[in-house]
Structure 1
Amino acid sequence: MSRFTGSRIDHLNLAVPDLPAAVAFYEPVLASIGIVTMMTVPASPELAAMHGFGWEHKPYFWLVADGQVGTNMHLAFTVDTAEQVRTFYDTALAHGATSLHAPGDHPAYHPGYYGGFVLDPHGINLEAVTHDHV
């Protein structure tokens, strides 16, 4: 278990211009690190359509339809092992991501930082990272 746990972020909504395309990308990529679809919300007069990912008891990462992706967006998912970083990275590339940084050590961030970075099909910088790599 990583020593860097305990985020206080309850959930994150990510606006995307094409929800079905985003879901098609994120479902296999997130499943590779144990994050799965937990809920979908159809469009209504009050809400845009949404797709929620999470694990255990609740969704915490939401894709929201008909939005515009912001600039310089970066989202990192904590994993427990370097192998999970590599699996995330390889799965993302297989589903249309572009490589930014192949999985590797990044001691400039801190000792034990091991991450892999990709750009998703909408241009969002995604990362899987473990903090206890030796």
Structure 2
Amino acid sequence: MFDHVKFGVSDYAASKAFFLEALAPLGVAVASEGPPTYGVELSAGGKASLCLFQSGEKPAPLHLAFAAATRQQVDAFYRAALSAGARDNGAPGLRPHYHADYYAAFVIGPDGHNIEVVCHAPGA
């Protein structure tokens, strides 16, 4: 539920590649791009965007949660993110302490950010 989130990364090329591969199962692609100091806007269908730019400062870790329509997308994100170099921070599964249908996976991205993909729909 955001219009856009923009944050600095220490290795623009690595972070851009990571987010494109890890979020491909959600339909995320490059919407626009400028020089690394301006950055890249990533979006799935133009509703909201994630913007990354090259920064000389390492930012404090963020927790970014992306919505998935299906649990299969959560699973695919997790596999893609690990393939892209992320560290595991919680395999796909139910998190009933949030609510009965909270199905999510968590990884740590290149700059130490906690990246989550969550599906709130009931299982099949």
Name the TM-score, length of structure 2 as normaliser.
Answer: 0.91
Bigger Rg, which one: 1
Q: Which runs of 4+ in 1 moved over 3 A?
A: none
Residue 102 (structure 2) aligns with: 113
1:79 corresponds to 2:76: no
Identity of aligned residues (%): 34
- Structure 2 segments unaligned to the other structure (5+ residues): none
Give the drift of 1:21: 1.0
C-alpha RMSD over aligned residues = 1.5
Residue 120 (structure 2) aligns with: 131
Separation in 2, partners of 1:11, 1:57:
10
Give the drift of 1:58: 6.0
Separation in 2, partners of 1:108, 1:53:
31
For 1:1-134, list aligned pairs within 5 A. 7=1, 9-42=2-35, 48-57=37-46, 60-66=49-55, 67-71=57-61, 73-134=62-123
Separation in 1, partners of 2:67, 2:48:
16
Give the drift of 1:59: 5.8
Tell me: CA distance 1:74–1:35, structure 2 relative to 1, closer, same or farther (3 Å).
Answer: same
Separation in 1, partners of 2:50, 2:15:
13
User: Do 1:38 and 1:59's aligned partners in 2 also have CA atoms closer than 8 Å?
Assistant: no
Tell me: CA distance 1:112–1:59, structure 2 relative to 1, closer, same or farther (3 Å).
Answer: closer
Aligned length: 122
Name the TM-score, length of structure 1 as normaliser.
Answer: 0.84
- Structure 1 segments unaligned to the other structure (5+ residues): 1-6
